[in-house]
Structure 1
């Protein structure tokens, strides 16, 4: 951040009184600008044992496959964000189920949340951010073309859990990859 969003003056990076972390502070008007992690929310939408996936039409990871997901908006719940993102990216309607995965990704200041969901019908098609949308059986998942590690981990948990018949909440952190592959 270079300029104050309140008055337009250049900001300084310093620890404000009473705080313990560096913040962007405007010396002209005194505004403290807090930058917080972004929340990415998506849905693992099921239809007769198959999973709805989207091939990305945008960066990052253009052309790679993912679950329908995106940044949460203000004034919505995480479940509403999952349903909205599925509608936007796959033009698909879902019934949102239980929270399934929650991954902290501190090196990019994001939290990734995925809900299990039920696809309500087969009326889906690519939205503006998707090149194509398809239902996949486990054997047909394009594992080498998955866009993000959080999605790959979610899918692997899903198939392991389905075999066991147990659906625990999966949480954890995803650290920076040694090979610099996107999270």
Structure 2
């Protein structure tokens, strides 16, 4: 998976599409250079920035890989990423889960702060993860608080922690319980 901090799409458009998942509909936005947004429901993850179009040719790889992930058949995404406008410490911190926290594992905000070597404290790591424009693919759900799940801005309104728990159970980080069965 490749990522770029600079958008290759300054005057272009974003192709939007969606996939229905066990945690609700997920919408993807793809620029001319890569996946640039993942959102929940039909809310466009890049709304208001540039015009949006329907272009299934451009969105098909992201939709197919997200669908396979939610079926438990994909453990690592292989998509070009466009993190347009994300720079400096924020880009380094967002890259860390991609590079150092594989499927089936987790890290605390504090550990990620240390690994990033950016000087960003644990609370700052949480803020950066909460603003992640490409959740699931950039696996911010694998970053936990020292004493529990922490927060999660992904998911439908009011469903963030439930969604995070679902994703972590799917990946085997959390074990199923009687009140929380394995997702698949």
**TM-score strictly above 0.5:** no
Which of structures 1 and 2 has the bigger CA Rg? 1
- Name the structure with the higher strand share: 1
TM-score, normalised to structure 2, is 0.24
